[in-house]
Amino acid sequence: MDTLNLETALKNASGLIDQRLGEVLVVPDAPEGRVIEAMKYTLMGGGKRLRAFLCIQTAKLFNVQEANYARVATAIECAHSYSLVHDDLPAMDDDDMRRGRPSLHKAFDEATAILAGDALLTLAFEIMADEKTHPRKAVRLDLISGFSKALGARGMVGGQMFDLMSPELELDAGALTRLQKMKTGALIEFSVDAGCIMGQVPDATRSVLTAYAHDIGLAFQIADDLLDVEACQDDIGKTPGKDEASGKVTFVSLLGLNRAKDQARMLVEQAVGHLEIFGSEADALREAAHYVIIRGH
């Protein structure tokens, strides 16, 4: 699969998610309709749908039904959107722009953005728990358990706390890796693991895919740090240069531009190496590994 086909495959994943979201996000003609409008603003705001794509492509390796993986991928994108909405709030990263347009609290207001984030997270679990997501209760329970761990205080929320505290901490590469593994890596890892859970695959296969996801998660974060330094606002759709301004340690500030790029490339090669047990059916995952460091936003 070349880059062009990967872009088509990402668009197809987006289409699948948009279709599911259209079904669940019906705006009632009532006061609470505002929060659903706000959720739609965020969910239909032009994200890459990378996590959905990883979930879908992993599930496809194990012949999971589209009706099942489309719902799980949608739940993951809802949770990811919640994290971005809350991250942009004045109390957190305080960013007025996201995906090239006003962030949710700017387009609506702060209270609506907090509520929309809360409702996106709860919608994610509502979708995951529904019996349409998987016929087997045990599989749904495993999905919900893994999802909770990835998102909670030992995963993304914990990573965000760690990140907010980081200007006062003197982070070395090991500590920064741990922070990013929690903040960004945990949901990326779960996106791949969700495909394994739905496919009910043996532990050995699951471990290989977890190792792949771990490496692309870290490469993704290094690429994000590089974009913050090298890209302009039009490219990344948010305010660049924020890491340096906030005094946060990043892979670029620790390693320098060139070593950070080398490290990202090394992680991508390592990630692709983990997939050697698969044939061409895993080409989309191989392409995705390369894409995380060549993406422009």
Who's near 242: CB < 8 A, 6+ residues apart?
A: 93, 95, 228
Q: Give yes or no for residue 197 binding ligand GRG (CB under 6 A).
A: no
Taking CB under 6 A as the criterion, the residue among 20, 105, 181, 183 binding ligand GRG is: 183
Who's near 140: CB < 8 A, 6+ residues apart?
A: 128, 129, 131, 133, 134
Q: Give yes or no for residue 87 binding ligand GRG (CB under 6 A).
A: yes
Nearer to ligand GRG (CB atom), residue 47 or residue 240: 47
CB of 285 to ligand GRG, least distance (A): 16
Q: What span, in angstroms and rounded, lies between the C-alpha atoms of 122 and 165?
A: 26
CB of 109 to ligand GRG, least distance (A): 18
Q: Give yes or no for residue 142 binding ligand GRG (CB under 6 A).
A: no
By three-state DSSP, how is residue 27 classified?
coil
* 62 and 198 Cβ atoms separated by less than 8 Å: yes
Q: What span, in angstroms and rounded, lies between the C-alpha atoms of 279 and 89?
A: 44
Q: Give yes or no for residue 50 binding ligand GRG (CB under 6 A).
A: yes
Q: What span, in angstroms and rounded, lies between the C-alpha atoms of 18 and 214?
A: 27
In the block, residue with structure tokens 């922070």:
179
CB of 122 to ligand GRG, least distance (A): 14
Q: Which stretch binds ligand GRG (CB under 6 A): 54-62, 137-145, 155-163, 203-211?
A: 155-163
Q: Which residues would be at the binding site for ligand GRG (CB under 6 A)?
A: 47-48, 50, 80, 83-84, 86-87, 92, 99, 156-157, 160, 183-184, 221, 224
